[in-house]
Structure 1
Amino acid sequence: MNIVEINAMILALECGAMSLAQVVSWADELIIEFAVPDDRLFDVSTAKHINDAVIALQAFGDSESQSIVAQKAFHLFSVGIEQSLTSHEQVAQKIYYMALADQIPHEEAEGHMFSFWDELDLANAGVYGNPADIRHELVMFIRRYES
């Protein structure tokens, strides 16, 4: 099991870019694959709520490479938006909190990670900016830094 992938799945689950069903299916596949599966996979497989799955995945620990986790998470965010699993607003909020937690895919990305959530909020409220343009910029930003 890849700890970077697991940590990225946590971030994606938290903003709706991955569904509980996807994570449960991932765990089920690994349980079947291994003759003696990791016990922690059973907690993920039997999770009934996203928070339960997040807690179960957190039991695997943290990756030492937060930038690679962020890059993988950005990929999951991009897929989640494409598949309409999550909204641009949820992803913008998540990347804001990732920046606060120093979970940054590349040092150039940090400043922009703070801006999208506010920009979308202002545009959606009709105060300033076009929501469609900002959503497009967000997707392009995510794709630039995904792995």
Structure 2
Amino acid sequence: MSPRDPSGALFRYFIGDSEMGLGHIDAAIAEFRKAIDLGQRGFFVYTDLAAANALSGKMDEAQAALAEARRLNPAITVKWMKERAVTPAIIDGLRKAGLPEECKRCEHTLACPGCSGGYVTRANRLGIQSWRVASTTVGMSRHAS
């Protein structure tokens, strides 16, 4: 893979996810860090890095990665992640890292505008409750709070 490949960061993320699936936690951590170093800034790379660090017992690093993931997407909870078909290893690691099971203030399953600091889906504003419908028909947006 070329170091100048614009898709390199995403490929590194996918390699890290594959390593997690194989149970190679330290290799996954290295790949997630490479993805971040190459410019991957989505919350998902930080959630997976948090999970991998927690599973390897590196709780300080896990909590730092989880804090960054929640800064990028304050709506994430264990319930939110499980609804998006995240692997059991990632869910277990996120629990160990301290990700809350669900929103403490409401029962929303999509990103909650009242509890998440402004991260909502257009589907949520339109009252669509199915994430699969929301993700394929109207997509995600961020509004000013």
TM-score, normalised to structure 2, is: 0.28
Give the TM-score, by structure 1 length: 0.28
- Please state which structure has a larger fraction of its residues in helix: 1
